[in-house]
Amino acid sequence: MANSVAQQSVLFPDLFSRPLTVAFDEPDTTSDGGTILLKALDRSLGLTEQLASCVHDSRQPGKVRHDFQALLQQRIYGLACGYEDANDAARLMRDPLLNLLVGHERPSESGLASQPTLSRFENSLTRIDLFRMGKALASLTFERHRQRLRSRKVRRVTIDIDATEDPTHGAQQLTMFNGFYDGWCYLPLVGFVTFNDEAEQYLFAALLRPGTATKAGVLPLLRRAVAEIRCAFPGAVIRVRMDAGFAGPEVFDFLESERLEYLVAMAGNSVLEGLSKPVMQKARRAFAAEEKTVQVFGETRYAAKSWGTKVRRVIIKAEVVAHEGRTPLDNRRYVVTNLRLSPKRLYSEYVQRGDSENRIKELKEGVQIDRTSCSSFLANQFRVLLSAATYVFFQELRLRAARTEHARAQVPWLRLRLLKIAGKVVSSVRRRVLRLCAHHPWAEAWLAIARSCGAQPA
């Protein structure tokens, strides 16, 4: 033992007036003390319990050391703390708090699941398991906000659907070359929902797709979401916003048959350029008079050949962009809609969907939704769902922090300030005490969130 401690100790003989020895020898300590909040949120939401119930466990009960809920908790709580790789299991095997969170009363005897166990788990799930888990995640999101908004009337629910590039660098199944992104990739589909005029877009779906997918998966995703929203929020108007990659006759026909409001961008073509010419000329005249970037809005009626006889309203944004020392640049944008508001107001409403790019950035940089390095496509879809579930916890943290400075904090800041707190687990026959850093700068906010999760004064 003495040799082990000595190997983990270093001496700084002349940094201060007295020599300083640093030793990694304090037992029963953790660097993720704030993670107890995730356990409290999980108990409130029932997230990992519902996800685990979707998976059929075909293992022999007598040989099982880690049930599926414990494995899910280990991966999701680990992702929340910044441990995105299953290889991190070896480093965290004896962490006292993480063991406690997944239900291991005596970590010295059991410990967390190993990397091989987690990898077998990731590769064992079937297509049906993953479908059920995705559906459970969406249902939980809608039910959570139905309960939250019970005292307020939900007049409108806005669905934002977006896709993002997930570059691949190996022999993953169904990785494809995408000419738009000029690389081999997956093209995940993510869905967010907003209630009334709230700022937050809440994640309800994350679907991994091959790199050449365009509209694949959009209609099934919308059908399920619309059905659940109408059940949870009867009487609410449903509005759908999507970019040009999803524009197509089958999508518009579905939106109209379901009596949904929609704002869907559309790529330009020679016909639309001709129809938008008067608006563009007006923008150029305004630019000539003001010599700065200007926007002019208009509208037209348009029928694509693939639409048959259907004529739809198209909002036009004609913009002349000023660049110092360069020729002004024309910028046309088109949005197909069935709403009757003014073109400028409608385009402003459509642009708000762009905030989903910030959510996608959080998913990538905060919970590593693009860590899809497994060979199996289904295993990678499972990893996407793990990241999505982790993000649901962070969005719930933001909700519970509504009256603190963390109400709009991004995932990295939430992790740093609320989860990565040094702590010591002290156990006795009667109780356990988690002793956190006395000088933690955000202790007051942490305690406020803990009280909102059911914690009581000690």
Q: What is the arithmetic mean of pLDDT over 261-274?
A: 95
Beta strand spans in 208-281 (E)? 237-242, 261-266
Tell me if residue 287 falls in helix, strand or coil.
helix
Is the per-residue pLDDT at 3 higher than 60? Answer: no
Is the per-residue pLDDT at 190 higher than 80? Answer: yes
Is the per-residue pLDDT at 166 higher than 90? Answer: yes
Nearest CA to 260 out of 252, 269, 268 is that of: 252
Q: What is the arithmetic mean of pLDDT over 268-279?
A: 94
Q: Which alpha helices (DSSP H) does 56-126 contain, by range?
A: 68-80, 89-92, 96-101, 115-124
Residue by residue, DSSP assigns 106-134 as -TTTS-SPPHHHHHHHHHH--HHHHHHHH
CA 139, 144, 146: angle at the middle one, nearest 5? 95
Range with lowest mean pLDDT among 55-69, 262-276, 303-317, 419-433: 55-69
pLDDT of residue 342: 95
User: Residue 238 and residue 257: Cα distance in Å, rounded?
Assistant: 13
Q: Which residue has the higher pLDDT, 402 or 264?
A: 264
pLDDT, one tens digit per residue, over 370-393 is: 999 999 999 999 999 999 999 999
Is the per-residue pLDDT at 170 higher than 80? Answer: yes
In the Cβ-directed half-sphere of 136, how many Cα atoms lie within 13 Å? 20
pLDDT, one tens digit per residue, over 355-374 is: 889 999 999 999 999 999 99
Q: What is the arithmetic mean of pLDDT over 324-352?
A: 92
Is the per-residue pLDDT at 111 higher than 80? Answer: yes
Burial 408-426 (b: 16+ CB within 10 A, else e): ebebeebbebbbbbebbbe
Q: What is the arithmetic mean of pLDDT over 213-220?
A: 92
Residue with tokens 């109780």, as numbered in its chain: 431
Q: How confident is the model at residue 228 (pLDDT cuts 50, 70, 90)?
A: very high
pLDDT, one tens digit per residue, over 48-81 is: 999 999 998 877 777 778 889 999 999 999 999 9
On whether the CB atoms of residues 436 and 421 are closer than 8 A, the answer is: yes
Domains delineated in the chain:
2-124+392-452 (no CATH), 127-365 (3.90.350.10)
